[in-house]
Amino acid sequence: MTYTTQMDAARQGLITREMEQVAAKEGIVAATIRDWVAAGRVAIPANKRHRSLDACGIGTGLRTKINVNLGISKDCYDIEQEMAKVRRALELRADAIMDLSSFGKTAEFRAGLLALSPAAVGTVPIYDAIGFYDKELQEIRAEEFLEVVERHAADGVDFMTIHAGLNRDMVEKFKRNPRLTHIVSRGGSLLYAWMELNGSENPFYEHFDKILEICREYDVTLSLGDALRPGCIQDATDACQIQELITLGELTRRAWERNVQVMIEGPGHMKIDEIAANVTLQKRLCHGAPFYVLGPLVTDVAPGYDHITSAIGGAIAAAAGADFLCYVTPAEHLRLPTLADMEEGIMASRIAAHAGDLAKGLPGAAEWDRRMSQARVALDWESMFDLALDPAKARRYREESRPEHEDSCTMCGKICAMRTMNQLLKGGATL
């Protein structure tokens, strides 16, 4: 039997190599993965041309995954530096990497990324269109936007952010419902400008069937972008955000009818007490499709620390059912992230994802923490390092400040609670 996409195979009852890879990583039988892909609750981004891919699954019942954003820009055009980030992101076990390049030799960077990365690779084609055609935004034709989508698919990109929910009706709704920070999605703002300048419909919405044909041919997963995500606390959960979400739910059904896999992108900036309700709303309106969130950032006043504001929101979102966290670095809102910024963002996002998995009760999540606790009570430093999310940092901190007593650290020394209790419970003298 032949199939066009992972969803097509699943609906035919087939188990693909990619489904087997996901099953092995998650500790779930492959037939269950197949059934979840068939229903749309799990997506396996796996372009047929991404030869180096080691597939991962994203969706309900699986570990919360994290994405790392990279890419070259006009002000920071250093392909080698971005490739160094790719290598480090893979070392730190990022599940996916998005190339957000917006200037210059984007194809060269994308080819290098796809050749190197076993993690899923995503792009936002509209970012590339302006540089690729070397035209003013207004001059780009609708069919040219679609040509960039096809070029990225042919290159081997596994998932693409397509802002198809921002149609003419949504533009009018946006005008009737003013926001403090307007449209903060880069792709959304570009499309809004293009639509207004040309008096035309969003080409990604108008020609959505053509996009589905491209995605089906190469098995590209659609990441339906939230052009109207809130860019500040005040704009969260407003009429524009929710109306776009309804449209994304309709587009999800259209994609599934063509056996195209879908993820839904979500907010954004949002108060803590709104996050769980937003996850529930997305899952309901978008029929259980995997939910991919940027943060959410739970306050607007922490530039330089937005990896923390994002991790707080990401943990809450993951616990409530979000499936995929887009990392945020300390450089958010300020500059292109450095390698060090990226590392901090990845670790903050991985902590949030695991915290969410603990709350979800995913098999194996609590066992990891139990083993760390066993190592701590035994004062087994090597096991603690091995179990740590970042073993190198944990080991470095220990080495930088050696204690007098090896069964303690320099915080507590001989009055370490673990040391005291171990000695007492073994019947020995303390202190």
pLDDT of 429 over the 80 cut: no
Q: Could you give phi then psi for residue 79, rounded to 5 degrees?
A: -60, -40
- Residues belonging to the binding site are 69, 98, 127, 163, 185-187, 226-229, 265, 269, 292, 333, 409, 412, 416
The gap between the terminal CA atoms of the chain, to the nearest Å, is 71
- Reported as a single tens digit per residue, the pLDDT across 316-374 is 999 999 999 999 999 999 999 999 999 999 999 999 999 999 999 999 999 999 999 99
Q: Is 101 helix (H, G, I), strand (E, B) or coil?
A: coil
Instruction: Report the distance separating Cα 328 and Cα 348, nearest Å.
Output: 8
Distance CA 5, CA 27 (A): 23
Q: Residue 228 in contact with residue 241, Cβ under 8 Å?
A: yes
Mean pLDDT computed over 76-85: 90
Taking the C-alpha atoms of residue 340 and residue 346, their distance in angstroms, rounded to an integer, is 10
Binned at pLDDT 50, 70 and 90, residue 204 comes out as very high
Cα 139 off chain centre by: 32
Q: Enter the tokens of residue 165.
A: 């929910």
Could you give the CA distance from residue 311 to residue 63 in angstroms, rounded to a whole number?
A: 16
Band of the pLDDT at 42, cuts 50, 70, 90?
Answer: very high
Q: Where are the strands (E) in 190-242, listed by range?
A: 221-224
Kindly tell me if the per-residue pLDDT of 160 is higher than 90.
yes
Strands (E), 40-179: 42-43, 58-59, 65-70, 96-99, 120-123, 159-162
**Which residues are known binding-site members for substrate?**
69, 98, 127, 163, 185-187, 226-229, 265, 292
- What is residue 427's three-state secondary structure? coil
> How do residues 294-305 score in pLDDT, each as one tens digit?
999 999 999 999
If we measure between CA atoms, which residue out of 241, 240, 260, 242 comes closest to residue 252?
260
Q: How far is it, in rounded angstroms, from Cα 317 to Cα 280?
A: 10
Domains of the chain plus CATH, in order, are 43-360 (3.20.20.540), 365-425 (no CATH)
Exposed, middle or buried by CB within 10 Å (0-12, 13-18, 19+), for 388? middle
List the binding residues for Zn(2+): 269, 333
List the beta bridge partners of residue 101.
none
Q: Name the pLDDT band for 73 (thresholds 50, 70, 90).
A: confident
Binding-site residue numbers for [4Fe-4S] cluster are 409, 412, 416
Helix (H, G, I), strand (E, B) or coil at 127: helix
How far apart (Å, rounded) are the C-alpha atoms in residues 329 and 51? 29
State pLDDT tens for residues 112-139.
Answer: 999 999 999 999 999 999 878 888 999 9
Could you read off the pLDDT of 404-427 as tens digits, one per residue?
888 889 999 889 999 899 888 987
- pLDDT bin (cut points 50, 70, 90) of residue 431 is low
Q: What is the mean pLDDT of the chain?
A: 95
pLDDT given at position 428: 66
- Check residue 116 and give its pLDDT: 96
Kindly state the helix (H) or strand (E) to which residue 107 belongs, with its residue range.
Answer: helix 106-116
Q: What does the pLDDT average to over 383-393?
A: 96
In the chain, the amino acid numbered 210 is: K
Hey, what amino acid is at 245? L
Residue among 129, 241, 120, 263 at smallest CA distance from 185: 241
CA–CA distance, 118 with 96 (Å, rounded to integer) = 9
Please determine, for residue 287, whether its predicted confidence score (pLDDT) is greater than 70: yes
HSE-CB at 42 with a 13 A cutoff on CA atoms is 30
